[in-house]
Structure 1
């Protein structure tokens, strides 16, 4: 709570959290689009869990938590979302060649503005967003930057022509909506919730590969884990 209030003290007049601003936790910056990211992570996790048998306690527990948090995030609708969604759907329909359909969103889309990905019945547009890097944070390699010549400018123009569709990002949640989400989920800052969701998604692949729902190769001895049971 204190860390969130610390961030609220420095928000813009429109009361939106500034992306990449300090959160109060070392190494953790304010997320630029936590709602869209969580929706994608949760629906992808649920989709991958289908590879695990329904009787598995692992699947049951992860599904329960993921569906609960997904419902909370879905209820938080940013201002102007309906208008944005209508425009976005029309843009995708009018320019299908600019939105490649991929089974796995790798973040790299060849010649397209973004990737159109379906997850658990929902459609997501995954973009490869360039992260601005402060040159002061980079180590000089000894080479002198002579600037962009004609060849470089021509290559940039070709790239812009190939990605002529301008995609507007999803409207952001207000600072108050972020605070409400954090309180309902009860797992720290929204950025921490995103990190947990990313870890859970990676873990699903590991658990499916290990087939954790199958019996052990060597059956445990009788009473091996009896000391975990409540006796009083």
Structure 2
């Protein structure tokens, strides 16, 4: 159920929740695009579960729940989704034909990275933004300043390296692929999604999904589908019951 603060959150005229505003829960802020975040996390979880044997009860239970939640999220599409889908499908087709010909423009000047990840038949753009920091606080890497380069004729090896650099194409000449983010859900759609999932605010659902994704790696390393080295006793799961006689 939505909290009172969430209902009174600052929203735009078209009834869109404003990213970064309080949700009513301490330390939890309104997500900028919860639908695409959940699609990526759930798809990633299902992809990792494929590494488990099909007989694994853990895989079966988590896979069933994740597929259900994924279907719920996919069933609610934001306004303008169809036009966005057509545009991104064309970009994905071009990218498949020439993946080296494009770079994803992150729109930031702090060295943020963005990469394409394909999970099944879905293509996701995952951004890794670098937090702004003070360069004066960065730890020195120990590299000595050797001063200006040596004067005079260069060696044959140095000339060869210069030739390679001269022939290398400047990355700035590459055509950046401007990937548009998926349109946002309206406030009413977010409320509907929260109701159908029944797991609190959509930001809480994202946190739980992220935890489940990390747990998959832990369970895989533990090889939970294998038999225990130390077998359980016959009465391991027999609980004390009151004598009815």
TM-score (norm 1): 0.75
Q: Secondary structure at the match of 1:195?
A: helix
* 2:122 aligned residue: 122
2:238 is matched with which residue?
226
Aligned to 1:175: 187
1:191-202 matches, cutoff 5 A: 191-202=203-214
Query: 1:226: how far off?
Result: 1.0
In the superposition, relative to structure 1, how do residues 36 and 222 fare at CA in structure 2: closer, same or farther (>3 Å)?
same
Q: 1:128 to 1:8 in 2, by over 3 A?
A: same
Give the Å deviation of 1:122: 2.0
Deviations 1:142-178 (A, max 9, x none): xxxxxxxxxxxxxxxx887657332221100000000
Query: Which residue among 98, 102, 110 is the counterpart of 1:98?
Result: 102
Runs (5+) with no aligned partner, structure 1:
101-110, 142-157
Comparing 25-34 with 9-18, greater Cα deviation is found at 9-18
Aligned: 1:7 with 2:2: no
CA RMSD of aligned residues (A): 3.0
Matched, 1:203 2:202: no
- Cα contact 1:18–1:30 (8 A) shared by 2: yes
Partner SS state of residue 182, structure 2 = coil
Corresponding residue number in structure 2 for 1:48:
48
1:27 pairs with 2:27: yes
1:188 equivalent to 2:200? Answer: yes
Query: Runs of 5+ in structure 2 lacking a partner?
Result: 105-110, 138-169
Aligned length: 200
Instruction: Give the CA deviation at 1:55.
Output: 1.8
Give secondary structure in 2 for the equivalent of 1:67. helix
Q: Answer with 184-193 or 89-98: which moved more.
A: 89-98
User: In structure 2, what is the equivalent of residue 81 of structure 1?
Assistant: 81
Cα distance 1:92–1:53, how it changes in 2: closer, same or farther (>3 A)?
Answer: closer
| TM-score relative to the length of structure 2 | 0.71
User: Which of structures 1 and 2 has the bigger CA Rg?
Assistant: 2
State the alpha-carbon separation in 1 of the partners of residues 211 and 218 from structure 2: 11
**Which secondary structure state, in structure 2, belongs to the residue aligned with residue 127 of structure 1?**
strand
